[in-house]
Structure 1
Amino acid sequence: MMPSISWFLLSCATAVFAQSFDPGDTKSPTQFDASKVGTNTSTNTTYSNPIMTANAGDPFMVYHEGWYLFTYSTNDNITLKRSRTLTDNWDLAETKLLFKPDPSSGDPWSTDLWAPEIHQIDNRWYIIFSATPDADSPHPLQDAMCPFECPAINHRMFVLESDGADPWTSKYSMKGMLNTFDQFAIDGTYFKHKNQLYHIYSCWENTYSAWPANLCITHLNNPWNVSSSLTQRRMISVPDQAWEQVPYGRAGRLATNEGPQQLTNPKTGQNFIIYSAARVNTPFYCLGMLELIGEDPMNYQDWRKHREGCVFHQNPDAGVFGTGHASYTTSPDGSENYVVYHAQTTDDPTPDLYRTVRTQKFTWNEDGTPNFPKALNGPFPVPSGQK
């Protein structure tokens, strides 16, 4: 999810406080040595975090036919990067603008574009993202309906479709809005299970509840068409654990489940949803885990939450904070698994939150669950098969 970065009043008469984010902001709290960003170009045998220093969040990475494809929150457009290597400096990677709406158009997808993901489904590529028409400045009477301030109340989920099978050369057009029953929806992702497709996203209990942010699931007929009704929608996770709440243990406001992502154990076939918990603009942002232990993703009893705490979290000793909103990929030869995540470099973030992109190898436990490492800066060996 995009953070509450700077709060401003549009006008005394009509505005409520709004969210904004400037990915072009270069005022990083940390000065990075370019020679230590990503792969060590002197040896090509090690790399260090971060692998991208530009102010970016919500990284989504996928490996396809020898290319790593990477997209992330830019706030006003959908940008795709690509590279032959996972750990080279992504600040320098080839970049392509795929979609840039007119922010003054009033279209439902015109402002505050967050957390894009790119998925290959049936020989086409689909980009799923959230956006809002009002720059997160709803009418004050609408905001007044919420028990807490709710600037993101009009955020919804949208889908772009490629016109071909090549994700890089294709043109992308608006396919439509995913039905979330005219309620708040961000950080949506596709979940595939037994030849069925589902939409999992961060939701509220109802139109005006504002908090907590939960995880909802609906069934899809295709990548842009929800077949579930509102009464068939299910919440599969609510932030009921102390470590999912900010301040620690306070239920309600700022209790958060968001950024869901499917992770499948390639050997056992076990399916997990790794999601972000706590609050994005705090050092406590971390990854939680659900496991599908039954056969029906639409049955909330078929999901089991890992309740012992975050499965991946901040590491103050290494100066890594706010570790969250991750995606998952492999080494070029497919023998290793990598988590790609964003993090902060300070435990006292300013309103102008600055996040960089990082990656580390993870393994699998004997029970088939993912075994995430400590958040570290490296150096690490480069991924297996990387040239």
Structure 2
Amino acid sequence: MTYTTNDNITLLRSHVLTDWKSADSKLLFQPPQGTNYSTNLWAPELHYIDSNWYVIFTADPNGDSPPPEVDMNCDWSCPAVHHRIYVLEGPGSDPWTATFTLKAQLNTYDQFAIDGTYFQHSTGLYHIYSCWHRQYDGWPANLCITKMSNPWAVSSNFSERQILSVPSNPWEQTPYSRSFNIRLSSNEGPEQLTNPKTGQNFIIYSAARSDNRNYCLGQLELVGDDPMNVQDWRKKNEGCVFYQNALEDAYGVGHASFTSSPDKSEDWIVYHGMRNPTNGWSARTIRAQKFTWNADGTPNFPRPGYGPYTVPSGQH
């Protein structure tokens, strides 16, 4: 597992999916000073594609503090205006022993880009990430998709970039159902989830503000054949599919990833949340819970909590 440390890319390794307190830790990548990717390394993800490991992550050059000459172009204050997406490559079958080097910066058309992920489909490889409509929008943050020629190169031009989702629902806005002002309304943290039995493809994404109690997960389903066609996606507008559980003091649950038990009989969601919603990002901890599937093939997520939970089937 990997997660935001802010200063570098760190890899964790645990024998048990439900216990990360005693995990091994390894520095995977330390950026040099004075580059466009030296500070605020966010949302790293580890992917195995075409027999190599790739880490896709977000970073910026200057501590996320644009000068006034840049900030004044935005309707609101726009920290993260210089954040972009980068890719590390680690050859080999074992990410723990692989040597990772910077492969490329992904083309996001010199615009704000965070929380990049890969979407693998029969028609090819795609990059889905959190984006603005324009360079200096500031907000809202949306979900964009582009086509890739390989894990480190985008083949779509700017006119081909598609916006799949915008935070138009009350539960995607911060504070909840803000009646004016779209500042901090967000769709971010997209992750591919595939139903192993039906083959249905979903994007489970994070909505609202990431350091807020209302942070939750939303759902897009690919109901057509072309991931680049907005009409081929169906958004679940009724509400979050995974959200805070105040009775268990489980707040701000978001930016999930998905895996299966060692014997492949169970599906698991790994996510972050916080017990104290007033302490923001510093209050996050790692959680893992089993989930199931509904009769229509959509994911059926549990209420978030703290367990203790039974370890995944086949894990010792």
TM-score (norm 1): 0.80
> What is the aligned partner in structure 1 of residue 311 from structure 2?
382
> What is the aligned partner in structure 1 of residue 218 from structure 2?
288
Higher RCO, 1 vs 2 (CA within 8 Å, ≥6 residues apart): 1
Distance 1:240 1:83 in 2: 39
> What is the aligned partner in structure 2 of residue 86 from structure 1?
17
Which moved further from structure 2: 247-256 or 282-291? 247-256
Distance 2:24 2:232 in 1: 42
Q: Residues 163 and 379 from structure 1, CA distance in 2 versus in 1: closer, same or farther, beyond 3 angstroms?
A: closer
- What are the residue-to-residue correspondences of 1:51-130 with 2, within 5 Å? 70-88=1-19, 90-102=20-32, 105-130=33-58
Which moved further from structure 2: 265-274 or 376-385? 376-385
RMSD: 1.1
Kindly report structure 1 stretches of 4+ aligned residues shifted beyond 4 Å: none
* Shift, 1:353, TM fit: 3.2
Distance 2:92 2:263 in 1: 26
- What are the residue-to-residue correspondences of 1:220-259 with 2, within 5 Å? 220-250=148-178, 252-259=182-189
Q: Do residues 149 (structure 1) and 77 (structure 2) align? A: yes
* Shift, 1:151, TM fit: 1.1
* Shift, 1:359, TM fit: 0.8
> What is the aligned partner in structure 2 of residue 208 from structure 1?
136
* Shift, 1:155, TM fit: 0.1
* Shift, 1:352, TM fit: 6.3
- What are the residue-to-residue correspondences of 1:360-375 with 2, within 5 Å? 360-375=289-304
Distance 1:241 1:110 in 2: 35
SS state at 1:353 partner: helix
Which has the greater radius of gyration?
1
* Shift, 1:116, TM fit: 0.3
Distance 2:175 2:46 in 1: 33
- Structure 1, unmatched stretches of 5+, are 1-69
Q: Residues 352 and 205 from structure 1, CA distance in 2 versus in 1: closer, same or farther, beyond 3 angstroms?
A: closer
* Shift, 1:381, TM fit: 2.0
Asked if the contact 2:261–2:314 (Cα under 8 Å) also holds between the matched residues in 1, the reply is: yes
- What are the residue-to-residue correspondences of 1:202-351 with 2, within 5 Å? 202-250=130-178, 252-347=182-277, 349-350=278-279
Question: 1:78 is aligned with what amino acid?
Answer: I
Percent identity of the aligned residues? Answer: 61
Distance 1:363 1:298 in 2: 28
C-alpha distance after superposition, 1:297-351 (max 9, x if no partner): 001111110011000000000010000000001111110000001001123x136
Distance 2:198 2:79 in 1: 42
Q: Residues 299 and 173 from structure 1, CA distance in 2 versus in 1: closer, same or farther, beyond 3 angstroms?
A: same
TM-score (norm 2): 0.97
Match of 1:175 among 100, 103, 128: 103
SS state at 2:21 partner: helix
C-alpha distance after superposition, 1:91-115 (max 9, x if no partner): 321111110113xx32111100000
